[in-house]
């Protein structure tokens, strides 16, 4: 009966597992602030939880909303330039095509792409298909607006109650787990530490790399710097290779366009500034607190994102850490 009821509940909540997960993460991250606030408000938990959620709205929800609004505006501007012909991607590909060595040209010839006109026509067809796909996805997002609003509401609503009543919930789960107290201490400490380190560390690294990358692109006159910044921030969730997937191709474009100074400047900036953030901060903020080797963090992050999507950058390392902790307990107990 216990197993059947648990599986049934999981099945019901599965469509909103992401919202539930982030509600729990917000509660986990902001509970220390709630605990600090509680005695200063005369032990009034509801008021302390409301003020904590107000802080969440100010430092998390509001900035993300502003960035999203600016991103939509920037994307609309770039799309308008594409439609008007002010922005011509085909010209960028011509520089790349003309600079190709002979052996690559011979390979393209086998596929009937040795003519730039042919290549441009196929690229235009691909862009048309991509535009149609984006339009379809945009319409789908519009249809799913209600689901998105519900997910945000569930996240914030759940976070409020978990912040206010988290100690009671944790105590109930604590008593239900059929393990020795010292083993439960290890698992709870591992879970909370890894979640906090992974979320704070990865998001901080992503935000810094995205901001630095966008600033560098803006200084070099790259169009749509905000779009590139957000893309770099998202890709920065992938350890080691993340932001480089954006700034390296742009540096190559500068080289092919004959702007050697900008190419060298971006390469130096990318390796010494953007890349240094990943190499220095990620091991300190993520690997050090989680006590996981860097290669385990990288592999489980990639695997988690492949399985769970964007939520995988949290779930991957958490599952790995819990796996190691459970097996350590098993070894210790014989």
**DSSP secondary structure, 88-135, as one string:** -HHHHHHHHHHT--HHHHHHHHHTT--SHHHHHHHHHHHHHHHHHHHH
Phi then psi for 257, rounded to 5 degrees? -80, 0
pTM exceeds cut of 0.75: no
The three-point CA angle 71-253-73 to 5° equals 10
pLDDT at 51 over 90: yes
pLDDT the model gives residue 293: 73
Per domain, the residue ranges of the chain are 16-176, 179-334
Whether the CB-CB separation of 68 and 204 falls below 8 Å is answered with: no
CA distance 82 to 276: 34
pLDDT the model gives residue 5: 92
Helix (H, G, I), strand (E, B) or coil at 331: helix
pLDDT the model gives residue 8: 94
pLDDT the model gives residue 79: 63
CA distance 136 to 139: 5
Burial class (CB in 10 A: 0-12, 13-18, 19+), 311: middle
Q: Across all residues in the chain, what is the average pLDDT?
A: 76
- Put residue 221 in one of left, alpha, beta given phi > 0 → left and psi -120 to 50 → alpha: left
pLDDT the model gives residue 191: 83
pLDDT band, residue 326 (cuts 50/70/90):
confident
* pLDDT tens per residue, range 63-109: 777 776 766 666 666 666 666 666 555 555 555 555 555 656 566 56
Burial class (CB in 10 A: 0-12, 13-18, 19+), 309: exposed
Choose the most confident range, by mean pLDDT, from 36-50, 255-269, 292-306: 36-50
pLDDT band, residue 52 (cuts 50/70/90):
very high
CA distance 160 to 173: 18
Q: Between 329 and 147, name the one with better pLDDT.
A: 329
Q: CB count, 10 Å around CB of 222? A: 19
CA distance 37 to 176: 29
């Amino acid at each position: 009966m216990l197993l059947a009821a648990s599986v049934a509940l999981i099945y019901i909540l599965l469509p909103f597992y992401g919202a539930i997960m982030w509600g729990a993460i917000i509660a986990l991250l902001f509970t220390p602030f709630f605990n600090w606030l509680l005695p200063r408000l005369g032990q009034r938990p509801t008021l302390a939880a409301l003020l904590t959620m107000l802080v969440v709205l100010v430092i998390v929800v509001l900035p993300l909303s502003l960035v999203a609004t600016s991103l939509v505006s920037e994307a609309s501007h770039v799309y308008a330039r594409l439609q008007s012909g002010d922005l011509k991607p085909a010209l960028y590909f011509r520089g790349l095509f003309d600079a190709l060595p002979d052996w690559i040209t011979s390979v393209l010839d086998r596929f009937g792409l040795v003519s730039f006109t042919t290549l441009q026509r196929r690229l235009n067809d691909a862009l048309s298909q991509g535009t149609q796909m984006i339009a379809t996805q945009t319409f789908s997002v519009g249809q799913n607006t209600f689901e998105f609003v519900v997910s945000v509401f569930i996240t914030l609503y759940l976070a409020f109650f978990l912040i206010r009543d988290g100690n009671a919930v944790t105590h109930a789960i604590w008593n239900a787990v059929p393990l020795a107290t010292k083993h439960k201490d290890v698992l709870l400490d591992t879970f909370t530490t890894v979640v906090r380190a992974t979320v704070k560390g990865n998001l901080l690294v992503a935000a810094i790399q995205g901001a630095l990358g966008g600033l560098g692109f803006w200084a070099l006159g790259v169009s749509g710097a905000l779009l590139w910044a957000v893309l770099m921030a998202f890709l920065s969730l992938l350890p080691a290779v993340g932001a480089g997937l954006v700034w390296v191709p742009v540096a190559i474009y500068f080289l092919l366009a004959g702007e050697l100074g900008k190419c060298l400047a971006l390469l130096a900036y990318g390796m010494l500034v953007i890349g240094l953030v990943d190499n220095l901060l990620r091991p300190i903020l993520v690997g050090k607190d989680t006590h996981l080797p860097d290669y385990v963090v990288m592999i489980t992050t990639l695997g988690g994102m492949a399985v769970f999507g964007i939520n995988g950058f949290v779930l991957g390392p958490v599952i790995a850490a819990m796996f190691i902790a459970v097996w350590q307990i098993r070894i210790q107990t014989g």
